Amino acid sequence: MTEDQASLLSKLARGRTSRREFMRQGTLLGLSVPTLLRLLEAPAAAKAGSKVVNVASYGGSYNENFRKGFLDAFEKETDIKVNLGANASLALAKLQAESGNPQWDIVELTGSEYEVAVQQSLVQRLDYKKIDTSKVPAYLKKPHGIMYALFLFVKAYDQRKIPDARAPRTWAEFWDTGRYPIKRSLNQNIADGSLLEAALMADGVPMNRVYPIDIERALKSLDRLGKRNIIWHSTNQEPIQQLTSGEVALATSWNGRVFPARQAGAQINFTADQGVVSGDYLPVVKGAPNREAAFELINFIATNDVAAAQFMILTTYATANARALSLLSKNLADQLPTGDALKSKVLMRNDAWWAEHLESATTRFKQWQVT
């Protein structure tokens, strides 16, 4: 979602635009009519006497796997119906919380979005008397949410051009233009990806000294890599397409994009050392009408081993339920950021730093790109 689109949603939340004007401006800003209608319409109502929880996530294949992994089993076990929507964002959470009559009980948020939502009092504290976190590592548990899904920002490569034995194990090796005199595809969305963190590690900064990020040092590291050696990508699937087509042989990517491509026959792989871990929360919107049912869903996600394992198999993303790793194959468990094999080899993204510095860091990075 662009800044203009988010601003339009915020105006609707504050009553500064009508529904008709929202539809007109939203269309001009590139939001489809179905998307606009989903944002305006309430989730399906529950039958009289039944319990329901309304969850906004991201849509598409992610929603399909979220439902197959967690929600179908939750509905069967609890008889609580889950209405699952799309287009989750901080703007939607703000729209819901400030409306005084939220229609979505849970809005999925990235780590930095979660931090902003807490600062702006858009989400409420979880009731940990009703949510069992005995299987959740302490670093994934916060007063207003549990980081339920974790992703790993990694160094991906084309095995046809770079055999596994020659693959870069560190960001310094990934940056080495003598070792790899080829172009790299890098994620230019520093708000979600972790390019600045990678640039600092490539410059020799230890993982435990990456934060607070020295933006100028990170940009100088990118200067040493050289813009002539960089192809920028802005969507998560682009580097996979570029690697499989042979356009590039090295790329930054997400572990959950590489796994399914490999399963489909693509000759690509990744190295996880010095990968950067980020993740999403399922916070409960302030004033949510189905708060208790929302707590039950979060408790299920945190405690049901079989459902968590199914979600990890479907998505190749880790979950907050660390106990469920024992149900996975060793090969998969060893490549997830919560597993013992990687726990000490990866960097946990500092979402609080990004929430505070997102605008200034993004502005400076864009200036560097066009200089």
Give this prediction's pTM. Answer: 0.83
Q: Does pLDDT of 15 surpass 50?
A: no
Per-residue confidence (pLDDT) for residue 259, from 0 to 100: 87
What pLDDT shows up at residue 366? 97
pLDDT value at residue 192: 85
pLDDT average, residue stretch 333-353: 93
Query: Which pLDDT score, from 0 to 100, does residue 87 have?
Result: 92
Q: How confident is the model at residue 40, as a pLDDT?
A: 52
The answer to whether residue 334 scores a pLDDT higher than 80 is yes
Q: For residues 5 and 137, which has the higher predicted lDDT (pLDDT)?
A: 137
pLDDT at 39: 52
Give the DSSP letter string of 312-355: HHHH--EES-GGGGGGS-HHHHTTSTTSTTTTTTSEE--HHHHH
pLDDT tens digits, one per residue of 16-71: 454 445 555 555 555 555 555 555 555 655 555 579 999 999 998 899 999 999 99
| Sequence-distant contacts of 95-99: CB under 8 A, at least 24 apart | 95/9, 95/10, 95/12, 95/13, 95/39, 96/13, 96/122, 96/285, 97/121, 97/122, 97/123, 97/285, 97/286, 97/287, 98/13, 98/14, 98/122, 99/13
Q: Domains in the chain, please, with CATH?
A: 42-144+283-327 (3.40.190.10), 151-278+350-370 (3.40.190.10)
Mean pLDDT value across residues 255-272: 93
